[in-house]
Amino acid sequence: MILFILIAIGIALYTIFADGWLIDCIKNIEEINKEAKENIEYDRTNYDTFSFRKYNEHDYESVPKYIFQWFILNILFNVINFIIVFIISTIVVVLCCPKAESYYTFNINSLKDNLVTSGEIQGGAFCVRGTIDGEISYFFSRTTDKGETIEHIPADKSYIKYDDSKKPCIEVHQKNHKISEIVEKLLFTKWCNDKYIDYYVIIAPNGTISTTGTYEIDME
- Whether residues 54 and 110 share a domain: the answer is no
Question: 3-state SS string over the chain?
Answer: CHHHHHHHHHHHHHHHHCCCCHHHHHHCHHHHHHHHHHHHHCCCEECCCCCCEECCHHHCCCHHHHHHHHHHHHHHHHHHHHHHHHHHHHHHHHHHCCEEEEEEEEECECCCHHHEEECCCCCCCCEEEEEECCEEEEEEEEEECCEEEEEEEEHHHEEEEECCCCCCEEEEEEEEECCCHHHHHHCCCHHHCCCEEEEEEEEECCCCEEEEEEEEECCC
What would the pLDDT profile of 120-156 be if each residue is shown by its tens digit? 444 458 888 888 888 889 999 999 999 989 899 999 9
CA distance linking residue 35 with residue 48, whole number of Å: 14
pLDDT for residue 123: 42
- Whether residues 92 and 103 share a domain: the answer is no
Compute the mean pLDDT over every residue in the chain, rounded to the nearest whole number: 85
pLDDT for residue 193: 67
Using alpha carbons, select from 22, 129, 117, 4 the residue that is nearest to residue 69: 22
- Phi and psi, residue 172, nearest 5°: -110, 105
| Averaged pLDDT for residues 75-101 | 87
- Whether residues 114 and 86 share a domain: the answer is no
How many domains is the chain built from?
2
Per cent of the chain over pLDDT 90 is 50
pLDDT for residue 180: 76
pLDDT for residue 119: 45
- Whether residues 107 and 72 share a domain: the answer is no
Is the pLDDT at 84 greater than 90, yes or no?
yes
What would the pLDDT profile of 21-71 be if each residue is shown by its tens digit? 999 999 999 999 999 899 888 888 888 776 788 888 888 999 999 999 999
- Whether residues 130 and 200 share a domain: the answer is yes
Calculate ∠ Cα 76-77-79, nearest 5°: 65
What would the pLDDT profile of 171-211 be if each residue is shown by its tens digit? 999 998 888 777 777 787 766 667 889 999 999 999 888 77
- Whether residues 19 and 31 share a domain: the answer is yes
83 belongs to a structural domain: yes
With 0.75 as the threshold, say if the pTM is over it: no
Provide the residue range defining the domain that includes 13.
2-96
Is the pLDDT at 112 greater than 90, yes or no?
no
- Whether residues 88 and 132 share a domain: the answer is no
